[in-house]
């Protein structure tokens, strides 16, 4: 991670802090580590104090939080000039900014009235040095990737018509589904891909979605999977009829594993489903 080493959410507030890590790395270099296995184990499990500051308030249902960090050579966001512009200082995917999932649209119109709202904010923690940033409840009412004056808070994507899969993938079975809907997990493929989001569109009783999003907040253009486009949902987008998994339950998180061994360049990912109630 960069300067913003960790992020914490609580209620409607989001806090970040630098250097708040288990002291295991230091313990390995200390004499205590070598005195006995028991002492070493104790040192590895200890935590050092952390100094945190609240960077944002007024974020209903704040859940997943992560620093954007740098996108690496070989990936589309680094290598494509049009995408790389989104990572410049002050831009929405500036490596120092923080992405935060919320359960509200911040005023943006809904794409699907029957599904939960939700949004991903991009926040500049450096703008909160004088105190927490109060996020206006309806700052995104105009639609699109709206921002507050000065750009300290930006709407990266939301459950809104501007961000539905059909914008780039009109023939996908999930064309009507948005980039996020009750987002619960954020995973950024900064090695060879894009931001991914795990969602629970109908809460704990429905199916899950996992979405792959371009820097403009829309499910990716030119998707290798024409059935899914940039939105994988339930069992609708299983690759073959014999696939028995899919996303039949809400998705809590996504872990990117590697590129597919089939030579297609697709990402191999696993997801953490919500537990059965």
pLDDT tens, residue by residue, 229-243: 889 886 666 665 555
Sheet holding 98-102, edge to edge: 65-67, 98-102, 119-123, 153-158
Q: Does any domain span residue 46? A: no
Are 183 and 120 in contact by the 8 Å Cβ rule? The answer is: yes
Report whether pLDDT(7) > 60: no
Q: Give the separation between CA 170 and CA 209, rounded to whole angstroms.
A: 18
Report whether pLDDT(188) > 80: yes
Decide: helix, strand or coil at residue 268: strand
Decide: helix, strand or coil at residue 244: coil
Q: What is the 3-state secondary structure (H, E, C) of 151-178?
A: HCEEEEEECCHHHEHHHCCCCCCCCCCE
Q: Does any domain span residue 32? A: no
The per-residue pLDDT for 205 is 81
The per-residue pLDDT for 3 is 38
Q: Does any domain span residue 48? A: no
The total number of structural domains in the chain stands at 1
What's the Cα-to-Cα distance from 272 to each of 190, 248, 251, 253, 264, rounded to whole Å?
A: 20, 11, 6, 5, 24
Report whether pLDDT(272) > 80: no
Q: Does any domain span residue 33? A: no
pLDDT band at 14 (very low <50, low <70, confident <90, very high): low
The per-residue pLDDT for 79 is 94
Q: Does any domain span residue 35? A: no
pLDDT tens, residue by residue, 115-163: 999 999 999 999 998 889 999 999 999 999 999 999 999 999 999 999 9
137: containing domain: 6-16+55-273
């Amino acid at each position: 991670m960069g300067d913003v080493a960790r992020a914490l959410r609580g209620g409607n507030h989001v806090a970040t802090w630098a250097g708040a890590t288990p002291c295991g790395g230091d313990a390995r270099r200390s004499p205590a580590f070598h005195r006995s296995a028991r002492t070493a184990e104790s040192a590895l499990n200890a935590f050092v104090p952390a100094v945190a500051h609240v960077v944002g308030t007024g974020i209903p249902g704040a859940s997943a939080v992560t620093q954007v960090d740098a996108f690496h050579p070989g990936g589309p966001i680094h290598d494509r000039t049009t995408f790389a512009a989104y990572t410049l200082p002050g831009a929405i995917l500036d490596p120092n900014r923080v992405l935060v999932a919320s359960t509200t649209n911040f005023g943006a119109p809904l794409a699907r009235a029957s599904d939960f709202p939700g949004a991903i904010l991009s926040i500049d923690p450096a703008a909160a040095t004088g105190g927490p940033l109060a996020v206006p409840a309806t700052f995104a009412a105009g639609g699109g990737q709206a921002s507050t004056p000065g750009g300290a808070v930006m709407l990266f994507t939301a459950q809104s018509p501007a961000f539905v899969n059909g914008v780039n993938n009109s023939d996908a079975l999930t064309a009507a589904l948005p980039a996020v809907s009750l987002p619960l997990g954020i995973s950024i493929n900064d090695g060879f891909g894009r931001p991914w989001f795990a969602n629970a569109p109908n809460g704990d009783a429905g199916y899950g979605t996992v979405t792959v999003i371009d820097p403009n907040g829309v499910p990716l253009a030119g998707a290798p999977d024409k059935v899914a486009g940039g939105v994988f949902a339930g069992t609708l987008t299983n690759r073959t009829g014999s696939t028995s998994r899919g996303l039949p339950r809400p998705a809590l998180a996504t872990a990117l594993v590697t590129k597919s061994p089939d030579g297609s360049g697709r990402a191999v990912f696993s997801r953490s489903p919500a537990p059965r109630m």
